[in-house]
Amino acid sequence: MARVLIVEARFYDHLNDLLLAGARAAIEAAGHAHETVTVPGALEVPGALALAAETGRYDAYVALGVIIRGETYHFEVVSNESARGIMALTLDGLAIGNGILTVENEAQALRRADPAQLDKGGDATEAALAMLKLRERFA
């Protein structure tokens, strides 16, 4: 049984609840244990992942959050830097599924977050578990 940590950037509660439901359902369906920690925003997700990895307590990680385009350049900074930080950690060998949505509007986010629609929380979990299997294969 793998130990999976979900790190969620809880900014849009109703959308995060959907992402979290999909991620938890996928972890439980695969027969694994999970914990969840919450950070203020997507920029804090890579830092939380790195801190958790230092403990050695987790086998895989799921990053969740929602970034909706606004009127300023902030959308690009948050989207790009959170993705860059997560990618750097994957290149260091962590099994991470990136479920941080980067969308134009709330309707797009809702469709992607909802487990009954595109279930990106579940997809991110499946990616993390696939990377964990791959890491174990190459170990």
Please check whether residue 83 is in contact with residue 28, taking contact to mean a CB–CB distance below 8 angstroms: no
Evaluate whether residue 8 is within a structural domain.
yes
- Give the 3-state secondary structure of residue 12: coil
Q: What is the pLDDT of residue 73?
A: 87
Beta strand 60-68 pairing with 3-9? parallel
Annotated binding-site residue? 55: no
Annotated binding-site residue? 83: no
Please check whether residue 4 is in contact with residue 61, taking contact to mean a CB–CB distance below 8 angstroms: yes
Q: What is the pLDDT of residue 36?
A: 98
Strand partners, 35: 5
Total structural domains within the chain = 1
The CA-to-CA distance between both ends of the chain, in Å, stands at: 17
Q: What is the pLDDT of residues 52-74, one digit of tens each?
A: 999 999 999 999 999 999 988 89
Evaluate whether residue 54 is within a structural domain.
yes
Instruction: Give the range of the structural domain holding residue 66, as residue numbers without chain letter.
Output: 3-134
Sites in the chain below the pLDDT cut of 70: none
Calculate the CA dihedral of residues 116, 121, 125, 131 and round it to 10 degrees.
120
Q: Is 14 a catalytic residue?
A: no
Q: What is the pLDDT of residue 135?
A: 96
CATH of residue 68's domain is 3.40.50.960
Q: What is the pLDDT of residue 7?
A: 98
Question: 124 is written with which tokens?
Answer: 């991110």
Evaluate whether residue 139 is within a structural domain.
no
Q: What is the pLDDT of residue 124?
A: 98
Annotated binding-site residue? 43: yes
Q: What is the pLDDT of residue 119?
A: 98
Q: Measured in whole angstroms, how far is the alpha carbon of residue 122 from the centre of its chain?
A: 10
